């Protein structure tokens, strides 16, 4: 391909700006900015000075008409949320079909277990991104493969136990407030700090920042030690850290506090927890204490 402008098919790639930039949908702000700076250097016109005017203009068009809009779309919080929602919706009816034959990484991801899917997905994205803009003639096809990986990832998320959706920070029960005219008599609404820690833990979990999520959940549990949601999410986090013993302890504790906790029930099945087994309360409390102590020695491997 040696043309100066981009065909309309290329512009349709912007429906998945993550694929255009070659980053996982779990990328944080640091990863996004780092990727953008690298692509700005890689597609700079000076790098194509020896490749001819057509190739030079193509690189410029790719950067200005694909990279820049994709970056702006992800950086804008509302647009980014809308994009992810659309990709999730598309993933519900997505079928790999013939794409498996073209993309071995896609097949590997689809067959992955819940524990390994995250790392397989991120590695596959990194492998394709490394060659995405090396040959501009292959860019379109490689970006399509990246989009397929993103859809597969969201499809797997929907078929496996998932991290709870974050909600706006929750305050403690609100007492009826006076009208604005009597503002001097208005009492400030107490802040529920435990829920704030919980919401941050959800966000960190979605970004695979497991050690940060653990820290937030421990702070939440200190404030509300009988909240089953906190223990259920802590069990999920340890499950993804491959700390299955600790995951079992916290999942059990969540179910002890609330036998109908949906997240805990889903992970209890994966962890093969016997729901009929009676656990001595003192033994359960001791197990939770030991797990809390051990978690302090877990290496913090995720990047920030």
**pLDDT attached to residue 99:** 55
**In percent, how much of the chain has pLDDT > 90?**
29
**pLDDT attached to residue 170:** 45
Three state DSSP letters for the chain: CCCCCCCHHHHHHHHCHHHHHCCCCCCCHHHHHHHHHHHHHHCCHHHHCCCCHHHHHHHHHHHHHHHHHHHHHHHCHHHHHHHHHHHHHHHHCCCCCCHHHHCHHHHHHHCCCHHHHHHHHHHHHHHHHHHHCCCHHHHHHHHHHHHHHHHHHHHHHHHCCCCCCCCCCCECCCCCCCCHHHHHHCCCCCECHHHHHHHHHHHHHHCCCHHHHHHHHHHHHHHCCCCHHHHHHHHHHHHHCCCHHHHHHHHHHHHHHCCCCHHHHHHHHHCCCCCCCCCCHHHHHHHHHHHHHHHCCCCCCCCC
Condensed to tens digits (0 to 9), the pLDDT of residues 106-153 reads 778 877 766 677 888 889 999 999 999 999 989 999 999 999 999 988
Condensed to tens digits (0 to 9), the pLDDT of residues 245-275 reads 888 889 988 888 898 888 888 888 888 887 6
Q: Which domains does the chain have, with CATH numbers?
A: 8-159 (no CATH), 192-295 (1.25.40.10)
**pLDDT attached to residue 236:** 92
**pLDDT attached to residue 140:** 94
**pLDDT attached to residue 219:** 87
């Amino acid at each position: 391909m040696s043309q100066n402008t981009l065909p309309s098919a290329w512009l349709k790639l912007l429906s998945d700006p993550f694929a255009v930039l070659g980053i996982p949908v779990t990328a944080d702000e640091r990863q996004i900015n780092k990727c953008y700076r690298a692509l700005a250097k890689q597609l700079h016109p000076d790098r194509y000075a020896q490749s001819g005017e057509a190739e030079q203009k193509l690189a410029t068009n790719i950067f200005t008409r694909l990279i820049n809009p994709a970056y702006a779309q992800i950086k804008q919080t509302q647009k980014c949320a809308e994009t992810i929602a659309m990709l999730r919706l598309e993933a519900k009816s997505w079928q790999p079909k013939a794409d498996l034959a073209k993309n071995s990484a896609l097949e590997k991801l689809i067959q992955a277990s819940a524990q390994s899917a995250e790392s397989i997905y991120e590695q596959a994205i990194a492998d394709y991104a490394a060659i995405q803009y090396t040959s501009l003639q292959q860019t379109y096809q490689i970006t399509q493969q990246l989009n397929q990986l993103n859809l597969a990832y969201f499809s797997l998320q929907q078929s496996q136990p998932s991290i709870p959706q974050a909600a706006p920070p929750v305050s403690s029960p609100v007492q009826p407030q006076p009208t604005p005219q009597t503002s001097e008599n208005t009492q400030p609404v107490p802040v529920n700090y435990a829920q704030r820690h919980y919401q941050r833990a959800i966000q960190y979990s979605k970004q695979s920042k497991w050690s940060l999520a653990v820290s937030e959940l421990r702070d939440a549990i200190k404030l509300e030690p009988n909240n089953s949601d906190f223990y259920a999410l802590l069990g999920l986090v340890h499950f993804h850290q491959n700390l299955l013993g600790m995951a079992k302890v916290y999942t059990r504790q969540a179910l002890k506090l609330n036998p109908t906790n949906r997240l805990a029930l889903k992970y209890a099945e994966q962890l093969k927890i016997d729901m009929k087994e009676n656990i001595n309360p003192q033994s359960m409390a001791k197990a939770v204490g030991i797990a809390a102590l051990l978690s302090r020695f877990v290496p913090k491997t995720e990047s920030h």
